[in-house]
Amino acid sequence: MKMFDVRRRAAPLLCAAAMLALSACGEKPQGPPPPPEVSVVKVVPSAVAIADELPGRVVAFRVAEIRPQVSGIVQRRLFEQGSEVREGQPLFQIDPAPFRADAGSAAATVRRAEATLSRAKLQEQRLAPLVKSDAISGQAYDDAVAARQQAAADLAQTRADLERRRVDLGFATIRSPITGRIDQAVLTEGALANAGDANPLATVQQIDRVYVDVRQPAARLDALREAARAGAANQGAPVEIVSSTGSVYPVKGRLLFSGISVDPGTGEVVARVEVPNRGRLLLPGMFVRARLPRLAMPDAILVPLQAVAHGASGETTVKIVDRRNKAQVRKVVTGDEKDGRIVIRDGLKAGDTVIVEGQDRVQPDAAVKPMPWHNPAAR
């Protein structure tokens, strides 16, 4: 009875073992795993321009301080504060009555001097034949000639004084010396404008063109010179102007090589960029950033940033796929970065296939399956 129970319990185990044995006999032997997939790019030389994005301040192209050249009471302000004014446009009117009276008095003095000169000339003409006939002494004739010359000199002086009075009368109307935008007026109607005042009545700034002054280390002065020479055919190296929010203004400036100077206090290079500003987007005093050209490479080797690995000892490497579809390690010398790519100065050549993604899953000389890399930023 006991033997029967043992056999009954062992029967299912034997059946299961038999089934497993039969199943194992039907399986095929597994081969080596497939090579891992890696994303790659093929190196193609391309032109690239490297620029430094530096802080800068907007400066007006021209600034004119409006100052009175004669003293008097301001009768009228002839402009809207903050508006655009033209060259020669009247801005302030100083009471012209005193200057008009002075000009009238000077004109009367001129007429009197003209009469005196006319009388002196007639006297000289009358005495000329008499001195020839010895009817009068030579001294009397010489006195008449001297009187005529003195009258001519007095007339010239009075005419100069009249011209000066007329200039002062013209200065009573204060005009803009340049075209630009005028700020608020310091004096109002009824105030006394003094020609010796330290503060101007107003300020006009020409801002249809502006300057952007940027600073960078003096060590890059040679690069600035090279950029200026490279852009000479295009009327200066092009410079992008970036707002504080990161947006690029729709204008292109040019680097003025003549505007480069060195700040003796900091040792930094102050570079001046001229920017067209017809839309008045840039205002004097604004702080912006300027992308200043530093380097232009016509046949640069660039790879995505994630393709470059940095070792603990400071070495920089990339992995490439050789003709046998095997991964190899290359030491490289890197340069500047731009738009998610980095310049390879040494270690790669045109036509090399560089692993961008998946290089951490493969060992040197291991077989890989290269797949084209798609830049997520380009989507």
Instruction: Examine the pLDDT at 2 and tell me if it is beyond 50.
Output: no
Helices (H), 133-251: 138-171, 221-230
Length of the chain: 379
3-state secondary structure 241-307: EECCCCCEEEEEEEEEEEEEEECCCCCEEEEEEEEECCCCCCCCCCEEEEEEEEEEEEEECEEEHHH
| Residues 75/93, Cβ–Cβ less than 8 Å | yes
Cα-based angle 334, 293, 289 (whole degrees, multiple of 5): 105
| Local confidence band at 335 (pLDDT 50, 70, 90 cut-offs) | confident
Instruction: Examine the pLDDT at 32 and tell me if it is beyond 90.
Output: no
What integer is the mean pLDDT of 229-252?
76
What integer is the mean pLDDT of 359-363?
86
CATH of 38-48+300-378, one of 3.40.190.10, 2.40.420.20, 2.60.15.10, 3.60.60.10: 2.40.420.20
Instruction: Examine the pLDDT at 22 and tell me if it is beyond 60.
Output: no
Instruction: Examine the pLDDT at 177 and tell me if it is beyond 90.
Output: yes
Alpha-carbon span 241 to 255, nearest angstrom:
12
Alpha-carbon span 379 to 377, nearest angstrom:
6
Taking domain 51-61+209-296, whether its CATH number is 3.30.70.1050 is answered by no
pLDDT at residue number 265: 80
pTM comes to: 0.65
| Local confidence band at 6 (pLDDT 50, 70, 90 cut-offs) | very low
pLDDT at residue number 12: 52
Domain spans, the chain: 38-48+300-378, 51-61+209-296, 68-94+172-199, 96-171
Instruction: Examine the pLDDT at 278 and tell me if it is beyond 60.
Output: yes
Residue that wins the pLDDT comparison between 22 and 278: 278
pLDDT at residue number 227: 61
| Residues 220/336, Cβ–Cβ less than 8 Å | no
**22-31, 64-73, 182-191, 346-355, range with the lowest pLDDT:** 22-31
Tell me which CATH code domain 68-94+172-199 carries. Answer: 2.40.50.100
- The CB-side HSE value for 352 (13 A sphere, CA atoms) comes to 22
pLDDT at residue number 104: 96
Alpha-carbon span 71 to 242, nearest angstrom:
46
Residue that wins the pLDDT comparison between 18 and 177: 177
pLDDT digits (tens, 9 = 90+) for 297-323: 888 899 999 999 988 888 899 999 999
pLDDT at residue number 69: 94
Instruction: Examine the pLDDT at 106 and tell me if it is beyond 90.
Output: yes
Instruction: Specify the DSSP class assigned to residue 326.
Output: B
pLDDT at residue number 35: 86
Give me Rg for the CA atoms of the chain: 45
pLDDT at residue number 375: 80
What is the percent of the chain with per-residue pLDDT over 90, rounded to a whole number?
A: 51
Pairing of strands 369-372, 37-42: parallel
Instruction: Examine the pLDDT at 31 and tell me if it is beyond 70.
Output: no
Consecutive H or E run containing 193: strand 192-193
pLDDT at residue number 236: 55
pLDDT digits (tens, 9 = 90+) for 131-169: 888 888 888 889 999 999 999 999 999 999 999 999 999
What integer is the mean pLDDT of 83-107?
96
pLDDT at residue number 233: 42
Tell me which CATH code domain 96-171 carries. Answer: 1.10.287.470
Instruction: Examine the pLDDT at 93 and tell me if it is beyond 80.
Output: yes
Residue whose C-alpha is closest to residue 315's, from 302, 328, 332: 332
Alpha-carbon span 323 to 366, nearest angstrom:
12
Mean pLDDT, the chain, rounded, equals: 85
Alpha-carbon span 198 to 181, nearest angstrom:
21
Residue whose C-alpha is closest to residue 152's, from 115, 108, 103: 115
